[in-house]
């Protein structure tokens, strides 16, 4: 079931890049949550092409909720949401149907589906599928916000340019809004933008690293053996196309530390157990410890580039060359920032429902009073 995720808050993604629609079905959302298309639309706007540095594909991505909401509130049934694909041009894909793009899923999809794969725009391997992730995640975000959980993702590295460390969540939130690459360090943001412009001229692409911080999580989320918080998140985050690395807390850095450096010492703050440092990224034994959950997501360079590269013609089984022409992001990591937030949201909400921390019926304010 490669298109569905979650045990209690279940998300199914459907559609293809150049098919009629892209969408998501969410099953298991608490009833009574005030929900309108605007709630989902504002998250979709953050993912949409158009920040000047992304694909020229002109889609309005207007979301429609077709079920699961009545009288302005979720009714407990499956919520089906979709957007229509309008700006379609399959010419290049039809011409190159049998020549897989290096770095893309064309070859693996061709073999796995016996040549029946929809290669137009990458079919369901397209980054456009992440619109479905955002639809599902925007609902989860809304529920989590009512429970005091805030998810904040931002760009910390593009093409080797690193953002300054040590900014507070408030600074990140404020600065990210004005950055075309969602980077909270203004100087690094400008450098990243000019680097990307250079790459566009050269017909090349680059990757990036996104950091995600979650505050307000209770202690005790996650299951010790097969559903640790890290495992659940990594499972879903690796489903975002282009993700090649996920690192929690100090991650690989921990491997070259001493225990005396890596252990987060505990102390009391207003009667609450907290830690001085947060090398563990807010998770111990697969379970949240009440400190901010912090992880980084590494995204590879966009595979479709204008430079000539070697490939194989799968029809003739002869080596050939390919040069990708079309509307591709020079750095897919940019649009992945809101996607990371939304994927994180539906994972965490699923874990919170599993831990019985979310009421089946949401109250007006915080979910505690059924309406």
Site string for ligand FMN, 240-279 (x = CB under 6 A): xxx-------------------------------------
Length of the chain equals 371
Q: State yes or no: residue 48 binds ligand FMN (CB under 6 A).
A: no
Please report how close the Cβ of residue 191 comes to ligand FMN at its closest, in angstroms.
22
Report the distance separating Cα 342 and Cα 236, nearest Å. Answer: 10
Q: Pick the binder of ligand FMN from 10, 104, 120, 142 (CB under 6 A).
A: 104
Residue whose beta carbon is closest to ligand FMN: 127
Would you say 202 or 364 has its CB closer to ligand FMN? Answer: 202
C-alpha triplet 252, 253, 255: angle, nearest 5°: 70
Please report how close the Cβ of residue 132 comes to ligand FMN at its closest, in angstroms.
11
Please report how close the Cβ of residue 130 comes to ligand FMN at its closest, in angstroms.
5
Contact, 32 vs 73, CB < 8 A?
yes
- DSSP letters along 348-359, please? HHHHHHHTT-S-
CA nearest 332: which of 26, 57, 35, 112?
A: 57
Q: Pick the binder of ligand FMN from 335, 345, 348, 358 (CB under 6 A).
A: 335
Q: State yes or no: residue 126 binds ligand FMN (CB under 6 A).
A: yes
For CA atoms 12, 362, 42, 63, the dihedral sign is positive
- DSSP letters along 194-234, please? HHHHHHHHHT----EEEEEEEESPPTT-S-SSS--HHHHHH
CA nearest 196: which of 160, 227, 171?
A: 160
Stretch that binds ligand FMN, among 92-100, 234-242, 260-268, 278-286 (CB under 6 A): 234-242
Stretch that binds ligand FMN, among 87-95, 212-220, 255-263, 332-340 (CB under 6 A): 332-340
Report the distance separating Cα 332 and Cα 328, nearest Å. Answer: 9
Binding site for ligand FMN (CB under 6 A): 55, 104-105, 122, 125-127, 130, 240-242, 300, 302-304, 328-329, 332, 335-336, 339
């Amino acid at each position: 079931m490669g298109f569905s995720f979650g045990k209690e808050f279940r998300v199914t993604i459907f559609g293809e890049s150049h098919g009629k629609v892209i969408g998501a079905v969410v099953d298991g959302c608490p009833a009574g949550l005030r929900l309108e298309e605007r709630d989902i639309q504002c998250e979709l706007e953050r993912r949409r092409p158009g920040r000047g540095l992304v694909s020229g594909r002109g889609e309005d991505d207007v979301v429609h909720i077709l079920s699961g909401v009545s009288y302005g509130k979720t009714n407990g049934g499956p919520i089906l949401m979709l957007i229509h694909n309008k700006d379609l041009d399959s010419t290049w894909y039809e011409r190159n149907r049998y020549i897989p793009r290096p770095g893309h899923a064309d070859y693996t999809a061709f073999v796995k589906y016996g040549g029946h794969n929809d290669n137009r725009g990458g079919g369901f391997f397209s980054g456009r599928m992440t619109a479905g992730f955002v639809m599902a995640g925007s609902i989860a975000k809304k529920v989590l916000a009512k429970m005091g959980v805030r998810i904040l993702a931002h760009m910390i590295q593009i093409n080797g340019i690193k953002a300054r460390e040590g900014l507070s969540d408030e600074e990140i939130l404020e600065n990210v809004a004005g950055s075309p690459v969602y980077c909270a360090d203004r100087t690094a943001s400008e450098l990243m933008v000019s680097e990307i412009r250079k790459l566009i001229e050269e017909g090349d692409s680059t990757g990036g690293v996104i950091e995600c911080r979650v505050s307000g999580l209770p202690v005790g989320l996650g299951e010790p053996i097969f559903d640790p918080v890290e495992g659940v998140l990594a499972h879903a985050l690796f489903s975002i196309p282009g993700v090649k690395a996920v690192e929690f807390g100090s991650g690989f850095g921990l491997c070259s530390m001493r225990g005396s450096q890596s252990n987060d010492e505990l102390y009391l703050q207003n009667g609450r157990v907290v830690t001085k440092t947060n090398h563990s990224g807010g998770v111990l034994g697969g379970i949240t410890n009440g400190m901010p959950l912090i992880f980084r997501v590494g995204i590879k360079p966009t595979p479709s580039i204008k430079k000539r590269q070697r490939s194989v013609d799968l029809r003739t089984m002869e080596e050939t060359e390919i040069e990708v022409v079309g509307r591709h992001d020079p750095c897919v990591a940019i649009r992945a920032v809101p996607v990371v937030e939304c994927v994180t949201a539906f994972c965490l909400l699923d874990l919170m429902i599993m831990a019985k921390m979310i009421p089946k019926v949401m109250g007006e304010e915080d979910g505690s009073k059924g309406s």
